[in-house]
Chain A
């Protein structure tokens, strides 16, 4: 059996109000993830309440990607936001704890932002 998953697309400007609303409704933050697409970054904020899966999705440009932090509303978000910064180079403003790029001890800056499937795929299906 596969669970039903609700994915809602929102604008970046709606993020804080949506996060506030969903937090008040008693949802738990499951994860925040980033996916590099050909012309944008896809950001997923995943929540759960009594096994109900709810995902907020927004897109931000590849050039100078920025996001507001939701960590002042949902504390665990600071881990995921620092992770996005270090792996994808996304600037997240107003995090409650900003590691300034030292969350992951990695040699290359934003390694996940520089390689995409389109760059590396030589053998297509």
Chain B
């Protein structure tokens, strides 16, 4: 047996915008074991539910993450709405899907840019973020905010989008798709991208299931698992089929995200086509009493919000299980047997969001 060496990876590393630490146990250049460490910036946001009212907690939920902020707010609201038996207007549900899918496009484009940068493909990084900028512009036009925009509220949404604006957005989405297509073609067909990520960071379908993988990480290993299939909110009226790849490597995880951008753009067009007229919120009276596990699909995968109300304006418990937390055990499996040089690519392939993990 070769001599074993422990190499610390993170918490500061070029592929890690946020801190996670891995102790990599190496035999020569090969990783044989990994010990993860999180918790460098744990914020204790869950505990704030005992000091902020259940309606103010939407703002806390939205600040769990700066990338998938809106869906965090929606997932929390959905849990409270179930506990309080609130009937949410259809228009509000469709608007939630619109901003939610736009968030997915924003998040995946951000990841594609970071991934391109990580393999030294800087022009691809610049173009990915150039297209993403147009997505952020839609957030700003429709809500006034670019990242955290506070559109979700218990009982519906705070902001409506007029029909004229929706028609303009349909054109804007077509333009985004037109600009995205050449980018997607590079990610899907370029030799350099395929060569760097193919057969790297393999995760089998069985391991993905047993280790609790979620989101693109699970779907790239052949698991057709997407919480939008629960048909929550307006997904009841918008059929979604999970994008599945079977190779289980870093490249497959990239391909899933590339294709999901097309899927999200299509979903937003269907929202614009189908959105009914009407109210955007329902009046909320009383306080939550009861409990519910609200599950929604974030760009990185399934997120779970447990809310427990006690009949006062403060909740007994607000608990969040984020997708990156669930994808840590699969990541450890992917890293075993890889070379040290592949570690950054593999870590990046799960799209780690430590801000979410350190909620």
What chain A residues lie within 8 Å of B127 (beta carbons)? Answer: none
Known: A37-B316, A106-B44. A31 touches B230 (CB 8 A): no
Output the nearest chain A residue to B288 by Cβ-Cβ distance.
A125
Give Cα distance in the complex from A119 to B229, angstroms: 40
Name the segment of A10-18, A60-68, A97-105 touching the other chain: A97-105
What chain B residues lie within 8 Å of A121 (beta carbons)? Answer: 50, 312, 314
A 64-77 to B, binary, CB cutoff 8 A, 1 in contact else 0: 00000000001110
Size category, B interface: 35 or more
Size category, A interface: 35 or more
Contact of B212 among A29, A33, A123, A124 (CB under 8 A): A29
What chain A residues lie within 8 Å of B292 (beta carbons)? Answer: 2, 5
Give Cα distance in the complex from A101 to B329, angstroms: 19
In contact, A125 and B321 (Cβ under 8 angstroms): no
In contact, B39 and A105 (Cβ under 8 angstroms): yes
Q: How far is the CB of A58 from chain B (nearest CB, A)?
A: 15
What chain A residues lie within 8 Å of B63 (beta carbons)? Answer: none
A59 within 8 A of partner (CB):
no
Name the segment of B109-117, B271-279, B300-308 touching the other chain: B300-308
Give Cα distance in the complex from A79 to B315, angstroms: 25
B165 within 8 A of partner (CB):
no
What chain B residues lie within 8 Å of A3 (beta carbons)? Answer: 230, 232, 295
Instruction: Label chain B's interface by main secondary structure.
Output: mixed
Known: A28-B212, A37-B316. A111 touches B44 (CB 8 A): yes
B 29-43 to A, binary, CB cutoff 8 A, 1 in contact else 0: 000000101111110
A 83-125 to B, binary, CB cutoff 8 A, 1 in contact else 0: 0001000000000010100111110000110011101110111
B140 within 8 A of partner (CB):
no
In contact, B230 and A28 (Cβ under 8 angstroms): no
Q: How far is the CB of B306 from chain A (nearest CB, A)?
A: 6
Output the nearest chain A residue to B357 by Cβ-Cβ distance.
A79
Give Cα distance in the complex from A81 to B44, angstroms: 17
In contact, B50 and A117 (Cβ under 8 angstroms): yes
A22 within 8 A of partner (CB):
no
Q: How far is the CB of B34 from chain A (nearest CB, A)?
A: 11
What chain B residues lie within 8 Å of A106 (beta carbons)? Answer: 39, 42, 44
Give Cα distance in the complex from A46 to B286, angstroms: 29
In contact, A103 and B312 (Cβ under 8 angstroms): no
Known: A30-B302, A55-B293. A76 touches B38 (CB 8 A): no
In contact, A44 and B50 (Cβ under 8 angstroms): no
Known: A97-B35, A105-B42. A120 touches B51 (CB 8 A): yes
What chain A residues lie within 8 Å of B315 (beta carbons)? Answer: 117
Known: A46-B293, A76-B212, A76-B329. A117 touches B310 (CB 8 A): yes
In contact, B326 and A76 (Cβ under 8 angstroms): yes
B325 within 8 A of partner (CB):
yes
B149 within 8 A of partner (CB):
no
Known: A1-B230, A30-B304. A117 touches B38 (CB 8 A): no
In contact, B50 and A120 (Cβ under 8 angstroms): yes
B270 within 8 A of partner (CB):
no
Give Cα distance in the complex from A114 to B292, angstroms: 24
Q: How far is the CB of B25 from chain A (nearest CB, A)?
A: 13
In contact, B319 and A33 (Cβ under 8 angstroms): yes
Give Cα distance in the complex from A2 to B46, angstroms: 23
What chain A residues lie within 8 Å of B325 (beta carbons)? Answer: 79
Docked complex: B199-215 residues within 8 A CB-CB of A = 209-212
Q: How far is the CB of B300 from chain A (nearest CB, A)?
A: 15
Output the nearest chain B residue to A2 by Cβ-Cβ distance.
B82
Output the nearest chain B residue to A97 by Cβ-Cβ distance.
B35
Give Cα distance in the complex from A76 to B211, angstroms: 6
In contact, B39 and A1 (Cβ under 8 angstroms): no
Docked complex: B217-266 residues within 8 A CB-CB of A = 229-232, 236
What chain A residues lie within 8 Å of B136 (beta carbons)? Answer: none
What chain A residues lie within 8 Å of B44 (beta carbons)? Answer: 106, 111-112
20 contacts between A and B (CB under 8 A): A1-B230, A1-B231, A3-B232, A3-B295, A30-B212, A31-B306, A33-B306, A33-B321, A35-B306, A35-B319, A46-B304, A55-B293, A74-B210, A75-B329, A102-B39, A103-B39, A105-B39, A116-B316, A120-B50, A125-B286
List the 4 closest A-B pairs by CB distance, nearest first.
Answer: A104-B39, A31-B321, A125-B287, A76-B329
